[in-house]
Every structure is written in C-alpha cells, then in structure tokens.
Structure 1
Amino acid sequence: MNGRSSRAGSPSGALAFPVVALLGVVLVSLNLRTAVTSLSPLLGVIDAEIGLGAGGMGLLGMVPTAMFALWGVLTPIVLRRMGLELLTVLAMTAAAAGQVLRALAHDPWVMGVGSLVALAGMGIGNVVAPPLVKKYFPRHVAAVSMAYITGLQLGTVVPALVAVPVEEAAGWRVSIGWWAVLAMVAAVPWVVEILRGGSDTAGPPAVGAVGGTGPAQRVRPWRSPVGLALALFFGTNSLCTYAFFTWLPAVAESIGMTRAEGGLALAVYSAIGLIAALVVPWAAGRFEDPYPVVVVSVVCYLAGFAGLLWAPGAAPWVWICLLGVGPSTFPLCLTLINLRTRTQAGSAALSGFSQGVGYTAASLGPLVFGFLLSGPGLGGGLAFLTVVLAVMCVVGRIACRPRMLEDTLR
C-alpha cells in the first residue's frame, strides 16, 4: 500500500484492523445483489403462480437500477442524520424484510412492494460500504476493498446458480426468501459495533461534512472535477455492464449459440468479475495512477465487439471472455471512491453521488441497447456502446489522476 490510504483515515486510536467490522463489511457485500439475481431465473415459475405478466416482469427488471440510483442520491442525506452503523443495520433489515415479503407474495403488487423494500436496503448498502471501509480501514483501503468487492461478485453469481436447484427442491418461495437470513446475519456485526459505543449513531458532523471541528461544511462532489469525473466514469461503466447483463443471452443467440449457451455466456461474463475483484483493487492501491486498468478494459470490450461482428463463429467463447474483462472498471470505480477522498465525509458524499449517476445511466443502457438491437441490429448496439467507451476513456483519465476530492472543490 502507498501512503495515500494511510494518511486518509479515521481518528487515531482506532483498532489497527478491527475484525468485527471486517466481517460486517464482507457480510454486507454478500447481500448487495441477492434480491436481483435470485429472482431472475425464477420469473417464469413465479409468473405462472401469481400472474406477473410481461409488464410486471419488465417492471421488476427495472426496479434494481432505479432503486440503486434513487438511494444513491438519498443515502448521503439520511447519513447526515444518523451514523453509518445504524443505517447499515436498517439497510440489512430492509433487505431481509423485503425478501420475506416477496416470498409470501400471492399477487404482483405484494411482489412489487417487497422488491422495492429489499432493493432500497441494498441500494443503501451500496453507498455505505465505501465509507465504512474508509472509517474502519484507512490503512488497508485496497485490501478491504478487494474483500468486499469479491463478496459483492459472489453475491451476484451464487444466487443465480442455486436459484433453480433450491426451487426444484423446496419451491420458489424458499429459493428467494431464504436470503433474508443472510441479510439479518450481516446486521449483527454492526449491532455489535453500536453496542460497543465506537460508532457514530447520532449522526456525526463528519458524514456529509468536511472536518471534525467547527461548523460543518457540506461536501458537494459535483463541484469538483474529481467528483464529476468519477460519477461519469461510474455511469459509463454501469451503462455498458447492465446492457450486457440484460441482452448478452440474446446477443449470443444472434451469433448462433443455443439458448442454454446464451445463459452460460451470461454466467461466464459475470464470473470473470471475480478475478477483477481480486486484481483491480490491488492495482488501484499499488499505483498512483491506475488508468492502465481502464485501457485494458476498453481494449477487451472493443476486441470482443470486433469478434462478435466480424468473426462470430470463429471463437465465440473468446469474445464472451473478452467482454467479461470489460467491467473490470467497476471494482476500480468502487476503490477510487476511497482513494480519491481524504475523509469519511468525502467518501460518503462521493459514493452517493457517483452511484446515483451510475445507476441512472445503468437503467438507460438496457433500454437503448435493446432498442438498437431490435432495429439496426447488433452493429448499431455495439456502435452505441463504443461511443460510451470513448467517453469512459476521457472521464476515466480524469478520475484516475492522483488528486483528492476535497482539494478540488469549487
């Protein structure tokens, strides 16, 4: 680790490596996508029982990015009134309650409300995770970021893999509802931190403000080139990633792969993120300027695009794997939230702002790419994403420069 992380930290006297908080961060990360990927493979079965309809299934598909975007904006506001630990407990409780409500649903409305509640909790969890790392692990930002991003990736892949086997053994209600247990377990370490008295349950000035003494000064990330660049970086990354999350099976079928292979292609695309979660945070913490990660990601995306367009039958799994390397910018975005801020306040504000912008863009990606795929075809959709990648190269260059948010506020 370099000196940047060790200088940007929580108050002196904190534990060098608090094990309870580490467990809490990892458990929270495992819960940030379970409501999304545990449901998708079961939509047909659920529709047959409670009558979601095509419109209902489409709306359920839009809820995750919409709630992640909304709570990206709202969470920093809530954080000014309560502490990180208490809000984390409430987030995990909401995630658990929403998943139980979905498991008990007998009509589309209850399923929708349960999804809103569960994904609100996970949207809050998205935002509070980086400042929790900043607060408890100021000298180990890259290492702990690696752990929680790996947990996030596992929480994305594993629910999708086990959803159908559990449904076949115990029914769809158990398959989507049992993840509530994991969410409640994730709340326990933060309850422990609150009871130990080391948390800021009253909502300290440090959250959403610069400095720990004197009048609180709000952190407004949109008034910094670092904040704007990282938000747009997160947005372009999310747009490309969620476009393929939604449409990769259809793209795979369009180049001659079977329906089963299309589903496997999506699993491969997602699983490669586990490797990136291990490597990219380390690279971001090791090097002052991790822009080469952006370059590698964009080159792999473009190589995959070229293969899909001009040699689709030659090596389709090579093209899929190249596309899977592309979202390596996602763990970079999450790690930079802490590496480009000096304070817990800056981390919380930047986390909310960048994820609010990012998931708003993510909700547009599948819509625009799908429209182009059904109109001009695959070439039109990939041309659109190529333009997005060009923007990513520019804003990623600014976000990766070793400058701090608080130093560049205007």
Structure 2
Amino acid sequence: MRDEDLQTLSRPATPSGSPGRPATSPAAGPTWLGPVLVVGIVLAALNLRPAITSLGALFEEARTGLHMSGTVAGLITSVPALCFAVFGVTAPRLSRRFGPAAVVCAGMAAVAAGLLIRPFADGAAAFLAASALSLAGIALTNVLLPVIVKRWFPDRVGTMTGLYSMALAAGTSLAAATTVPLTSALGGDWRTGLLVWAVLAVAAVLPWLPVVAASRPEKAAAPAAVREDAGPSVVRSRTAWALACYFGLQATGAYVTMGWLPQIFRDAGVSASTAGVLLAVTMVMGVPLAFVIPGLAGRMRHQGPIAAVLGVFGLVGYLGLHLAPAAGAWAWALLLGVSNCAFPLVITMIGLRAKSPAGVVKLSAFAQSTGYLISIPGPLVIGTLYQHTGGWDLPLALMAGLLVPQIVLGVLAGRDRTIEDECGMRD
C-alpha cells in the first residue's frame, strides 16, 4: 500500500464548516502546527533510548555508587523491556481519553522527571523507581508516535516514520558514545553524566505544549473511531500477531547485539576499545538506514522482501562471527547493523497495516507490548548458554536460528492487508 493511498483511507472526519479539509491535518490548523509537530516528533524520538544507553555506559559506576547487589543489577537491566510491555498497554485508553498529543507530551514530561530525579537517588530502590518513571514515558511515546504520524501526516507515513526512526537511532548512538566523555569533561561523577540527558528530555516537552493546546478543539470533534474503542480486538488478526512476533524477534536480536557483541569480539582477541567502536559502528548503521527503509517500505505494497533481505544480512553476520570473528570484525559489525534496521521496518508496517488512527493505536500497543514481552528472555538465555558452554558457538547458532522465523513472520506481516479487514473493525 502506497503512502498516497493512506491519505484517503485514514483521513479523519471533517468538522462542520471546513468541508474537504481533515480536522487533524497540520494544513487544517495554524500554519505553525506542521513544523512544530515535526520538531516535536524528532525531539521525542531522540529521547526514546538515552535513558537506557546512558546508564549502560556508566552502569558499573552506578552499581558501585548505589551498592547494588547482583540481583538488583540484573533486575535493572531487564526493566526496560518489561516497562515497555506493561505501560505500552495503557497507551490506547489514555489516547482515547486525552488525545495522542497530550499523552506524548505527558510521556516526555515523565522521561524528563525520571532523568532529573534518578541521579539524586540515594539507594537502589529510588534509582529503580526513577528509571521506571522515565521508561513509562518512553513506553507511551513508543506506542503513540506511529499514531501521531498516521493521524497528522497520513500522506507521508513512510517519510515521517523514517525521520523519527533516524532520530531514535541517533539518540541511541549519541548517548552510548558520548556519556562517558561528557562525564569525564564534567568532573567524572557518574551522577552528573546521567543528569545531562535530562536537558534533552526537558527540551522535548516544549514543542508538545502548543500542539496539545491547538489539538483540544479537534479532540472534541474527533470521530467516534478515534475516540472510542470500536470493533473487535486486534488479537483476532493474524497480521497483528505476525507483527507482534516479528517485533519481538527483532527486539531480541537488537538487545543481544547491544549486550553481548563487544564480549564476542573481546573473546576473539579484539581489544576492549576496538570492541566498543565496533558496537558503535553497528548502532550508527541504523541512523541513515532508519530514514531510507521506511520511505522505501511506504512505497511498496508488500514489505516482506525488505524483511527477508534484512534477515539474510543477519544470517551472514552471525555466520561470520562463528567462522572468523576477529578477521572480519568490521564486516560482521556492519552486517548486523543493517539487520537490526528491522525496527524502523516494523514500525512502518504498523502504520501501514491499519486504515485509521484508532486502528494504528490499538495495533501499535498490541504489537509493541507483546513484542517486548517476547524479547525479555533473549539476552538472559544467551548469557546462560555462554556461561555454561564457555563459548559462542551455541549462542550464535541460536541467534541465527531465530532469524528464520523472523524472516517468515516479516513476510507475513508485510502482506498488503489491514487489521480492520481481518477483524471486521470499523474504519
């Protein structure tokens, strides 16, 4: 389904007195609304991962400073996916009641508040609670950004999804690469290094304030399909399940890569510093491709071929890590970086597999919440296999094996159909 087709399928109802103009299109509102929305979307996306990757860069210092036990430290590393799953489920109800823009604004405020509070925590419990607050805001925004794109930019789903996917990848890489140098430049205190990222989160709240104010009149006139939970549940849709499982498997691969790739290289004889650079290369690959892939996917009726190609890149990367991890390290890092771009693809498909903003919010919440639940055991299982076998042969074989159902599910999710058609939901 092409982007231009989506404009007709998902155009919101027109309020009386404004014939032919969509109520939720930026063109129908103030002239500043479109540009401010774009800025808000980009800033929100930039803040969807620094709360996680900045802590990863300083985790040893934070663990020592807060006297965390090994159990608590393990819990904190598992909290992001759990929060994304649990809080993401609440997004549709909150969106229906307050509007998606208001919920994203509140989500960004929660991210900022958590990042402001977290560095001043004097114990592991308070630190965990502040982290959970930020992660709750991220979870809501994760689910609702595709809805914002579908609702306000129905004729540019691929382009806008690419823009915020690129910003998300950039924020992830930026926090991972600069947190330690920033901490050193600011005196070496890990608390200061974490606090820096609250500034970016506060900035992300600002553009959403006028958007929320401008969207209040339209919310009152929004169609029933947007305001109400119409029609059967998405759990009856095979496409929804394919998207959820595809989301879960790609998230598993991404978390394993972020958590274990440097160790794989180090065990192969690569220096610690080079292993860190190789991980950065893998993550940076997502910045340009996160913009290119959604635009390409939005112009295709069937996105399955893209899912298959990304999966093949991952298979070659894992095979290379098995056969020659050190000799071909740069090539394997690049290949896995391309493979991990399944994330912007699945986010784009969420916007394409529903006709209306109401359908997108339900599908996004279901696919992301279910997918993140699926991804939780992955890094733990890989770590356990590594510990018990003393090597990477079995863990790499498992990761390569998981790419096979991921490819199959991506092909199924990429078919040109919608959840409304499958479930008999009202548009």
Smaller-chain TM-score range?
over 0.9
CA shift for structure 1 position 205: 6.2
1:205-262 Cα deviation digits (max 9, x unpaired): 65xxx477xx851452211111111111111111111111111111111222122222
**Equivalent residue in structure 1 for 2:374, among 361, 365, 372:** 361
Q: How much does 1:80 deviate?
A: 3.0
The residue number in structure 1 matching 2:26 is: 15
- Give the whole-Å Cα distance in 2 for the aligned partners of 1:202 and 1:105: 41
- Cα distance in 1, alignment partners of residues 181 and 266 from structure 2: 24
Runs of at least 4 residues off by over 3 Å? 197-206
The whole-number CA distance in structure 2 between the counterparts of 1:99 and 1:55 is: 23
Partner Cα separation in structure 2 for residue 311 and residue 44 of structure 1? 30
For normalisation by structure 2, the TM-score amounts to 0.90
Aligned match for 2:209, one of 178, 191, 195? 191
- 1:339 correspondence with 2:352: yes
**Do the aligned partners of 1:293 and 1:328 also contact (CA within 8 Å) in 2?**
no
- CA distance, structure 2, for counterparts of residue 354 and residue 58 of structure 1: 26
Map Cα deviations across residues 142-181 of structure 1 (whole Å, 9 max, x no partner). 1111110011111101111111122112232222123222
Counterpart residue identity of residue 184, structure 1: V
Give the Cα–Cα distance (whole angstroms) in 1 for the partners of residues 229 and 255 of structure 2.
37
Q: Deviations over 1:351-379 (max 9, x none)?
A: 11110111112211101111122223312
Cα distance in 2, alignment partners of residues 86 and 146 from structure 1: 23
Distance 1:228 1:366 in 2: 22
Q: 1:44 to 1:138 in 2, by over 3 A?
A: same
Paired positions, count: 405
Q: CA deviation at 1:117?
A: 0.6
Does 2:61 correspond to 1:61? no
The residue identity in structure 1 corresponding to 2:53 is: T
Asked if residue 173 in structure 1 is aligned to residue 187 in structure 2, the reply is: no
The 3-state SS of whatever aligns with 1:288 is coil
Post-superposition CA distance 1:165-198 (Å, at most 9, x none): 2211223222212322222222222210222245
Q: Tell me how far apart the structure 2 counterparts of residues 178 and 296 of structure 1 sit (CA, whole Å).
A: 38
Distance verdict in 2 for CA 1:131–1:265, change over 3 Å? same
8 Å contact 1:83–1:203 — kept in the other structure?
no
Structure 2, unmatched stretches of 5+, are 13-20, 28-32
Q: Is the 8 A contact 1:73 1:356 kept in 2?
A: yes
Q: In the alignment, what sits opposite 2:271? A: 258
Q: Is the 8 A contact 2:308 2:410 kept in 1?
A: no
Indicate the SS of the match to 1:8.
helix
2:312 matched to which residue of 1? 299
Q: How many angstroms apart in 2 are the aligned matches of 1:238 and 1:199?
A: 38
Query: In 1, distance between residues paired with 2:324 and 2:180?
Result: 34
1:121 aligned partner: 137
Distance 1:372 1:216 in 2: 44
Which moved further from structure 2: 293-302 or 372-381?
A: 372-381
Contact kept, 8 Å, 2:304 with 2:412, in 1: the verdict is no
2:256 matched residue in structure 1: 243
SS of match in other structure, 1:348: helix
CA RMSD of aligned residues (A): 2.0
Q: Which residue of 1 aligns with 2:5?
A: 4
- The residue aligned with 1:143 is 159
CA distance in 2, matches of 1:49, 1:167: 15
1:86 is matched with 102
Q: Which residue of 1 aligns with 2:401?
A: 387
- Whether the aligned pair in 1 keeps the contact of 2:242 and 2:410 (CA below 8 Å) is yes
1:49-98 Cα shifts (integer Å, max 9, x gaps): 22123333222211111111112222223323221111111111111111
Name the CA shift for 1:156/1:202 in 2 (closer, same or farther; >3 Å): farther
- Distance in structure 2 (CA, Å) of the matches to 1:45 and 1:138: 45
**Identity across matched positions, percent:** 34
Matched residue type, 1:260: S
CA contact (8 A) 1:249 1:259 kept: yes
8 Å CA contact 1:82, 1:204 repeated in 2: no
Corresponding residue number in structure 1 for 2:16: none
Call closer, same or farther: CA 1:124–1:58 in 2, change over 3 Å.
Answer: same
Q: Distance in 2 between matches of 1:294 and 1:196?
A: 38
Partners in 2 of 1:366 and 1:200 — Cα distance?
A: 44
Matches within 5 A, 1:107-118: 107-118=123-134
Which position in structure 2 is the counterpart of 1:72?
Answer: 88
